[in-house]
Amino acid sequence: MVDTNAGSFFSEKSAKIFVAGHRGLVGSAIVRKLQSFGFSNLVLRTHSELDLTVQSAVDAFFASEKPKFVILAAAKVGGIHANNTYPADFIAINLQIQTNVIHSSFAHGVEKLLFLGSSCIYPKFAPQPITESALLTGPLEPTNEWYAIAKIAGIKMCQAYRIQHNWDAVSGMPTNLYGPNDNFHPENSHVLPALIRRFHEAKVRGDKEVVVWGSGSPLREFLHVDDLADAVVFMMDKYSGLSHLNVGSGKEVSIKELAELVKEVVGFDGELVWDKTKPDGTPRKLMDSSKLMELGWEPKISLKDGLVDTYKWYLENYAMKQ
């Protein structure tokens, strides 16, 4: 369903917009994108200024600020190790953030809210490419089901408020994201930033080889976070529907191709060695983003250009501080 008020978001560049989670990978990209389009009245709060898990604080914030639009990009996120170690934190904190922000947005007259989730909401063995209708059709990936359950609840909460109150709350589910402000932690980062760091450090040390886990055959989809931010603004302007929408590049790359590309971008001259005794993980994970693309959005940043951009950011903001 296309919004009957299509184009109204862009006509309100002085309207107050609350971007929750503005310091993270996703939130910071959304802020950059909104500013590049000329939106001038962004309401931003750090965690120390506003704890989104505290209901009374969130309600007081909305009562006082009364934003017209809300983009909910705040979440507790982490890799497999963190999800396995702190399952209570992942379900409780994310449920608290979502419930507080979504309800207070509705209660204090927010015109439109966009909730962002993750592709991990889908069943572990969902048919590929994964369509929006695969939601709740099978068991989740056990290593992150606590986070996934919270995100599914967020989608369902937006749908419930739309059904009961005719309130314009929509949801977007991004694929694997990367870009400026990514997490390059040696243990807790995802595959793409982990490869960038590993190849960079090997280059600096003058290593002869870099060992990567698995066979390199699994296929993955990646989207530059600036493309996601573009999709967020597009959905705020063009989309108003009950279903959540997948947001992906629609392009697959093998882990082997990805590693070769990162090696090239970083400029590592040594050998790339595959440790096939280590696990590969899911063979394929691709989302079907055709619903969003049929509305007129498309990603613009190629993987190569995105990697060059991300490595440049890593050098300027991360490598220098070590």
By annotation, the residues acting in catalysis are 147
Whole-number Å distance between alpha carbons of 2 and 167: 15
Whole-number Å distance between alpha carbons of 64 and 104: 11
Phi, psi (deg, nearest 5) at residue 221: -115, 135
Q: Whose structure tokens read 């809210």?
A: 113
Please say whether the beta carbons of 3 and 240 come within 8 A. yes
Rounded to 5°, the CA angle 241-160-170 comes to 35
- In sequence order, the 6+-apart residues with CB closer than 8 A to the CB of 236 are 9, 69, 71, 112, 114
Beta strands in 44-103 (DSSP E): 69-72
- In sequence order, the 6+-apart residues with CB closer than 8 A to the CB of 31 are 19, 22, 42, 44
Please say whether the beta carbons of 232 and 159 come within 8 A. no
Phi, psi (deg, nearest 5) at residue 63: -65, -35
CA distances from 254 to 216, 218, 282, 285 (A): 6, 6, 12, 11
